[in-house]
């Protein structure tokens, strides 16, 4: 049985650490004099593999959990009915450099693999964001993980950092990642930024990603904006992106919008995307519309796609419809 070190939250400052570290050699440090200096000191002293970590207040999203860090979905673990209010930021270091960053729920069981874990207390969120921003030039090693970690901070400095990543002189890959983070984690501010990007960013891929990111936004206005783009944007590619994103925004207004797009949009590819989105709606909400479409549409290509989609759906209503057709 692997060696276990239990670190319970009741024994140390609130939200200072994960509730459970497994297979870990833990040392505690303080960032009261500044996170950057403490982090650099630890980094300089770590030629061998180790982890450096701390926790910060987090935005209340469902992007943090233990589902994806367990050995499998049948293994025990924490499922959050309500999002955690803190995030654990973990840096893997080796040869005096960071080579991986993880952002997890504080309720996860975390296996450190027997290596040292340097846990830092007294971390200020703005200093954490500044540290993560300083690692952006090392994206070849750490990938987009600093962006993911920044987006989880419940601090205005996170919004400011993400907006800097959106500057037109930044690499497109970084801009696209920041757009996704704004939609999934940054609430009303993120929605407002996405709206501006859609209206005027010079990069079409960034505008497309911003439309897609609206599907992750919990702001009520996100659905209204998607519907407006799907119905009336002059750019067919933007309309296609919007109808695809609507598949992740279920509800009567979505079904109505997709039906109207299929009926009236002048671009066949937009119509095709709308048919696919109807099929992707949860609980088969689009199946009755697809059946009616097969019966009434004058567009041969749309009818073919709708029939193929219904055949692949295996929905009992679709099966009953085809059985009725075969009787005649």
Neighbour-count burial of 145, counting CB atoms closer than 10 A to its CB (0-12 exposed, 13-18 middle, 19+ buried): buried
Per-residue pLDDT of the chain (328 residues; tens, 9 = 90+): 333 333 333 333 434 567 778 888 899 999 999 999 999 999 999 889 999 999 999 998 767 766 554 455 555 566 667 788 899 999 999 999 999 999 988 888 888 888 999 999 999 999 999 999 999 988 777 788 999 999 999 999 999 999 999 999 999 999 999 999 999 999 999 999 999 999 999 999 999 999 999 999 999 999 999 999 999 999 999 999 999 999 999 899 999 999 999 999 999 999 999 999 999 998 889 899 999 988 888 889 999 999 998 988 888 998 888 888 777 6
Q: What CATH number does the domain containing 315 carry?
A: 1.25.10.10
Entry field: residues in the chain: 328
Q: Which of 123, 103, 26, 100 is nearest to 61 (CA)?
A: 103
Q: Are residues 119 and 227 in the same domain?
A: no
Give a yes or no: residue 176 inside a domain.
no
Residue 13, classed as helix, strand or coil, is: coil
Task: State which of 142, 168, 201 marks the end of a domain.
Answer: 142
What pLDDT, on the 0 to 100 scale, is given for residue 79?
A: 67
pLDDT of residue 215: 95
pLDDT at 127: 98
Query: What total of structural domains would you count in the chain?
Result: 2
**Does residue 199 lie within any of the structural domains?**
no
Out of 93, 125, 142, a domain closes at 142
Residues 6 or more apart in contact with residue 55 via CB below 8 angstroms: 15, 16, 17, 18, 86, 87, 88, 89, 106, 123
The pLDDT tens digits for 194-239 are 999 999 999 999 999 999 999 999 999 999 999 999 999 999 999 9
Give yes or no: residues 11 and 138 share one domain: yes
Residues 235 and 320 in one domain: yes
Whether 13 and 132 share a structural domain = yes
Would 150 be classed as within a structural domain?
no
15 in a structural domain: yes
Q: Strands 20-22 and 25-30: what pairing?
A: unpaired
Q: Which of 117, 142, 167 is the last residue of a domain?
A: 142
Q: Is the same domain home to 137 and 233?
A: no
Structural domain range at position 132: 1-142
Same domain, residue pair 3 and 114: yes
Are both 137 and 231 inside the same structural domain? no
Per-residue pLDDT of 247-298, as tens digits, reads: 999 899 999 999 999 999 999 999 999 999 999 998 889 899 999 988 888 8
Q: Is 90 a member of any domain? A: yes
Backbone phi, psi, residue 28, to 5° = -105, 140
Are residues 257 and 128 part of one domain?
no
Verdict on whether the full-model pTM lies above 0.75 = yes
Q: Is residue 195 part of a domain?
A: no
The string of DSSP letters for 149-172 reads HHHTB-SHHHHHHHHHHTSTTS-H
Supply 121's token pair: 């207390």
Tokens of 219: 């702001």
- Same domain for 14 and 127? yes
Secondary structure class of 95 (helix, strand, coil): coil
Strands 86-94 and 97-104, by their bridges, are antiparallel
Q: Within a domain: residue 156?
A: no
CA angle, residues 251, 257, 260, in degrees to nearest 5: 145
pLDDT of residue 152: 95
Same domain, 14 and 138: yes
Domain assignment present for 214: no
């Amino acid at each position: 049985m692997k060696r276990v070190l239990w670190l319970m939250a009741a024994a140390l400052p609130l939200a200072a650490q994960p509730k459970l570290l497994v297979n870990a050699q833990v040392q505690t440090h303080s960032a009261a004099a500044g996170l950057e200096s403490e982090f650099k000191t630890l980094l300089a002293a770590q030629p061998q593999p180790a982890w450096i970590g701390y926790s910060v207040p987090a935005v209340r999203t469902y992007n943090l959990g233990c589902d994806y860090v367990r050995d499998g979905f049948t293994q025990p673990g924490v499922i959050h009915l309500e999002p955690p209010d803190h995030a654990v930021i973990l840096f893997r270091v080796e040869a005096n450099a960071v080579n991986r960053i993880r952002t997890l729920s504080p309720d996860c069981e975390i296996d450190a693999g027997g290596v040292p874990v340097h846990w830092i207390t007294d971390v200020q969120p703005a200093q954490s964001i500044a540290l993560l921003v300083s690692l952006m030039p090392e994206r070849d090693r750490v990938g987009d993980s600093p962006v993911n970690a920044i987006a989880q901070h419940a601090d205005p400095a996170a919004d400011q950092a993400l907006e800097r990543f959106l500057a037109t002189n930044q690499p497109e890959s970084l801009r696209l990642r920041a757009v996704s983070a704004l939609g999934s984690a940054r609430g009303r501010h993120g929605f407002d930024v996405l709206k501006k990007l859609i209206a005027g960013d010079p990069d079409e891929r960034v505008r497309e990603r911003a439309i897609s990111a609206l599907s992750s936004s919990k702001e009520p206005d996100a659905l209204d904006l998607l519907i407006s783009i799907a119905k009336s944007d002059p750019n067919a590619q933007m309309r296609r992106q919007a109808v695809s994103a609507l598949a992740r925004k279920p509800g009567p207004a979505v079904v109505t919008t997709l039906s109207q797009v299929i009926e009236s949009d002048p671009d066949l590819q937009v119509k095709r995307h709308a048919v696919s989105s109807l099929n992707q709606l949860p609980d088969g909400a689009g199946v009755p519309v697809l059946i009616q479409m097969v019966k009434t549409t004058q567009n041969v290509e749309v009818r073919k796609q709708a029939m193929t989609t219904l055949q692949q759906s295996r929905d009992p209503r679709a099966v009953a419809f085809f059985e009725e057709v075969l009787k005649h």
